[in-house]
Structure 1
Amino acid sequence: MAPEVATTGMLTIPPDSTFFSRERVERILAFVVAVGSAVLGVQALFHAIGSVQEDPTWNIALTAATFGPLILMVAAGVAGRFYRPLAAILAIVFPLVLLAWPVATAGRSASAAGEPWVWYLLNVATVATVLVFPLMLQYVWCALVPVLYGIARLIQIGADVENVIQVSRQVVYAIILAVVMTMIGWMLRLLAERLDRTREEAVRSYAAAAAADAVEQERISVAALMHDSVLAALIAAERASTPRERDLAVGMARDALTRLANADREAEEGPDEPVEPMFLVDGIREAALEHDVDIDLRIAIDPRAQTLPGRVARALVLAAAQAVVNAIEHAEGAGLHAEVTADDRRVVVRVIDAGEGFDVHAVPEDRLGISGSVVARVAAVGGQAKVRSSRRGTIVDLRWEYPR
């Protein structure tokens, strides 16, 4: 399924662009954490290789359990892919390593003078939570990991006063450093979110201004069209005194109505060759399918029905298509169906829906969906269009009679 997009006015905002700054900050955080963890990891690895503080078997097991996820997290952070699950694994595995530390060092001589290799990875485990854990859980890890280290270390070297003071200093130092790094990550994300929010609001404001300008330009174009075409046709009709002048005035009026009806879309007159009434059925069905609607078409075409001019058929199809679009947009297609009736006297097209209806007389004049695309379009070819709407639904009735 294609991702949804946010559309405002005339401007389409892709969903990924809404959080552009936040995504860049996440990528930077992942890279910085990866580089810092690599530096501390190399230092810890040198101390872990050949360490005599723990049993050799335990040394191999704990080293593999710790540095395996660490190496993968560093590589993923530099590449910018899949670093979150690997950071979560490291953040969960390292406290388990600290819990196993007293068992791994049991029965072996220990000195408080040299820190074990796990000491160098305390802040690696806490900063890994910045990439994956919620903020509250990050602070829990800032205290949990150093405290676990302090307990494991005192069990290893003994809990006399001097050792307690020394280990307590290490624990406090690790907690302070972890909190500082967590706060830096939180501040960067907060700034990125505010920047994204400000950017989105600016884009929406620009889109609203662009939409308002487009509406104003449309009004100006329609006003110019009314002035130049319709008014000229009315003046010509008023001054017509001969049959030829009246015919010319009628042609000017028809051309003006056609231009007004097609003001909202590119629609060509096309050839005027006669077409069968089934042309209406096929055209309405294709127009509905363009909007993913398989419309229910009820057909009643008399065998005596004559062909109708091509421009008339296209006008009826376009007007019916606009009525279908209106039903889809405003009535959600409830009870939508169409009727096509033709005999030797007239052609009738009805588009009916079962929506909540609307006040036909309250539609603004600058909305061309009904006045232009339906009424004026049918009137331009000598037909009639009526729109009736109530709480039980809306009926768009399009009629065209054969010349007698």
Structure 2
Amino acid sequence: MADTPRSVLDDAWGRIPHSRETQGDSGSFTQTRIERVLTLLVGPGALVLGAQAFAAAFGTGDEAPGWHLPMTLGVFLPLVAMIIACAVGRLARMFAGLFAVVFLVALALWPLATAGGPPPVPTENPWIFYLINIATLAAVVAFPLPAQIAWTVAAPLLFGGVRLLQAGGDPDFVLPVLLDVSFALILGSVLLTLAWMYRSVAVNVDQTRTLAVSSYAAAAAAAASEHERVAVAALMHDSVLGALLAAERATTPRERTLAVSMAREALTRLANAEKDALEGSDEPVPATRLADDIEIAARDLGVDLEVARRVEDGTPRVPGRVARALVLASMQAVANAVQHADAQGLSVQLAGYAAPGSIAVRVRDAGAGFDVDAIPADRLGIRGSIIARVSAVGGRSDIDSGAAGTTVTLEWESGDRW
């Protein structure tokens, strides 16, 4: 069988070098790489800004007594966990999201934490200010785009609000706070835009790659199918020609036996040429499987058919090749009944016998019937698709047709050579 487009696509994808984080996903090759690059960049960036904030935290704090240590530990511990996770490439999304949430909580608590503390100075920013844009980076790593935008806008604005509350609405703080908020918004917007741009480019690259590889897969599959078609045609030509030559030159019983064997193989290939998709394993199947396959195939013809089953316990399993031949021959008989008898009185019976181990399929219709002996030699619907097909697997076929209708009987015994 020719490779399917999907198998060719998988083969093509397998030729692309993979790292540990990109194996097995041909649809997000560049996206995965970009996500890894972003986390690697966020780690050092957060480390630099975090070190600045950590150094500022050792100075004179704005918090009231008892608040400084819990606030710094509560913010910096998630920050350190995020930096480590980004560096090793594991759990970065989880720890980044944790820091982003913790930071907003710390900002919301800032007025309470600074109540009763040293008076703030307009020209000096508290240590928590230096972490605003780290929160933006954390949101870029952890959240989808709408949440990233929300964090980029909310963190600076929240800082501005809590800073003015800390100053008690002192007018001297308004301009410095506006400048700080503007700076944080601009820097956060730049960081967010860069991350969005790189991710968008990665998505477009992956989509283009997928389309290109899919086009290659379709072309390769078509070429493989054509190559197989040519090879099969040449093989069938050679097998039929060889069988004819062997039959013509056969003079001894041994040569005749060989010619019969060659002819049987050629007939099998000819009979199944139009049903390549049904070729498959020769693993034996239960007798009832034939009835199921006949019903499914009949529905493809637009015939709602229920096969009557009478299978004895101990009925032998049917080899896969035999089962396919009987099903295809039965469907040819059903197709003939639909075409020539308008499916009048159409019924199919499957019988299985334990002793002797055998299978029988009977297809009946109530049409006008026909003269089997008068069928032209070039009409292969019965000779090729029924008689030859069943004979090729060691079975027997019988066609009884008259004014009362037509009965096609297909039989196979487990002791027959096939």
Alpha-carbon spacing, 1:382–1:103, altered in 2? closer, same or farther (3 Å): closer
CA distance in structure 1 between the partners assigned to 2:59 and 2:386 by the alignment:
87
Deviation at 1:227, TM superposition (A): 1.4
> Which of the residues 199, 219, 222 maps onto 1:189?
199
Letter in 2 for 1:8: R
The reply on whether 1:20 has 2:29 as its aligned counterpart is yes
Aligned to 1:74: 83
Answering whether residue 322 of structure 2 is matched by residue 316 of structure 1, we say yes
Distance in 2, Cα, partners of 1:185 & 1:26: 9
Aligned length: 330
- 1:321-367 superposed Cα distances (whole Å, 9 cap, x missing partner): 999xxxxxxxxxxxxx97533666x9325599xxxxxxxxxxxxxxx
- Rate the CA distance shift 1:314–1:168 in 2: closer, same or farther, 3 A: closer
In the alignment, which residue of structure 2 is the partner of 1:299?
311
Residue deviations 1:232-255 (CA, integer Å, cap 9, x gap): 323554x46967576554333124
Runs of 5+ in structure 1 lacking a partner? 1-5, 269-281, 289-296, 324-336, 353-370, 387-395
Calculate the TM-score normalised by the size of structure 1.
0.68
Mapped to 2, the partners of 1:33 and 1:200 lie a distance apart of 29
Equivalent residue, structure 1, for 2:142: 132
Matching residue of 2:166: 156
Amino acid at match of 2:189: V
Change (3 A) 1:118 1:376: farther
Q: Letter of the aligned partner of 2:153 in structure 1?
A: A
Conserved in 2, the CA contact under 8 Å of 1:9 and 1:211?
no
Shift of 1:18: 1.6
Match in the other structure for 1:356: none
Please tell me whether residue 167 in structure 1 is matched to residue 173 in structure 2.
no
**Quick one: structure 1 residues 74 and 7, their matched pair in 2 at CA, closer, same or farther if it must change by over 3 Å?**
farther
Change (3 A) 1:314 1:143: closer
In the alignment, structure 1 residue 283 sits paired with structure 2 residue 284: yes
Say which of 38, 47, 53 aligns to 1:44: 53
Contact 2:40 2:86 (C-alpha < 8 Å) held by counterparts: yes
Partner in structure 1 of residue 372 of structure 2: none
Measured in 1, the distance between the counterparts of 2:362 and 2:99 equals: 64
- Deviation digits for residues 59-114 of structure 1, max 9, x if unmatched? 11111111111111111111111121221121112122112212222232221122
Choose from 347, 350, 364 the match for 2:358: 347
Task: Determine the structure 2 residue equivalent to 1:383.
Answer: 395
Whether the 8 Å CA contact 2:240–2:263 is kept in 1: the answer is yes
For residues 41 and 204 of structure 1, do their structure 2 counterparts lie closer, same or farther at Cα, with a shift above 3 Å needed? same
Q: How does 1:26-65 map to 2 (within 5 A)?
A: 26-65=35-74
Contact 2:123 2:176 in 1 (8 A): no
* Alignment-mate amino acid for residue 359 of structure 2: V
Q: How far did 1:188 drift?
A: 1.0
**What is the one-letter code of the residue matched to 1:348?**
I
What secondary structure does 1:55 align onto? coil
Question: What is the CA–CA distance in structure 2 between the aligned matches of 1:16 and 1:66, rounded to whole Å?
Answer: 36
Distance 1:381 1:126, change over 3 A: closer
In structure 1, C-alpha distance between the alignment counterparts of 2:387 and 2:52, rounded to whole Å: 81
Matched residue SS, 1:340: strand
TM-score (normalizing by structure 2): 0.66
Change (3 A) 1:48 1:313: closer
Q: CA deviation at 1:138?
A: 1.4
2:287–2:352 CA contact under 8 A, matched in 1: no
Q: Deviations over 1:23-53 (max 9, x none)?
A: 1111111121121111111111111125332
Identity of aligned residues (%): 43
Note the 1:320-339 alignment, pairs <5 A. Answer: 339=351
Could you tell me which amino acid in structure 2 is paired with residue 383 of structure 1?
G
Counterparts of 2:362 and 2:26, CA distance in 1? 41
Shift of 1:159: 3.7
**Alpha-carbon shift at residue 8 of structure 1 (Å):** 1.7
What amino acid sits opposite 1:48 in the alignment? A
Q: Could you say if the C-alpha distance between residues 68 and 374 of structure 1 is closer, same or farther in structure 2, counting changes exceeding 3 Å? A: farther
Are the structure 2 counterparts of residues 247 and 148 from structure 1 closer, same or farther at C-alpha, using a change threshold of 3 Å? Answer: closer
Question: What is the CA distance between 1:195 and its match in structure 2?
Answer: 1.1
- How far the C-alpha of 1:168 sits from its partner, in A, is 0.6
What CA deviation, in whole Å up to 9, does each residue of 1:210-244 have, x standing for no partner?
A: 2212211221122112211113323554x469675
* SS of structure 1 residue aligned to 2:124: coil
**Contact map agreement 2:156 2:185 (CA 8 A) in 1:** yes
Q: CA deviation at 1:149?
A: 1.0
Q: What SS does structure 2 have at the residue aligned with 1:348?
A: strand
Give SS of 1:8's match.
helix
Structure 2: tracts of 5 or more residues without a match: 14-22, 290-308, 330-348, 364-382, 399-407
Residue 285 of structure 2 aligns to a residue whose secondary structure is helix
**Structure-2 separation of matches of 1:223 and 1:185:** 56
Match of 1:103 in 2: 112
Aligned-partner Cα distance in 2 for 1:68–1:338: 75
Q: Is the 8 A contact 1:31 1:78 kept in 2?
A: yes
- Please give the alpha-carbon distance, in whole angstroms, between the structure 2 residues aligned to 1:100 and 1:372: 87
Match of 1:8 in 2: 6
Q: Identify which range, 253-262 or 21-30, moves more after superposition.
A: 253-262
**Gap change, CA 1:201 and 1:375, over 3 Å in 2:** farther
Instruction: Tell me what 1:278 maps to.
Output: none
Q: How many Å separate the matches in 2 of 1:286 and 1:36? A: 70
Residues 107-134 of structure 1: CA distance to partner in whole angstroms, max 9, x if unpaired?
3222112211011101001121111222
Aligned pairs for 1:114-125 (under 5 A) are 114-125=124-135
CA deviations 1:243-295 (Å, max 9, x no partner) are 75765543331243356689977989xxxxxxxxxxxxx9314998xxxxxxx
**Does the CA-based 8 Å contact 1:320-1:349 persist in structure 2?**
no
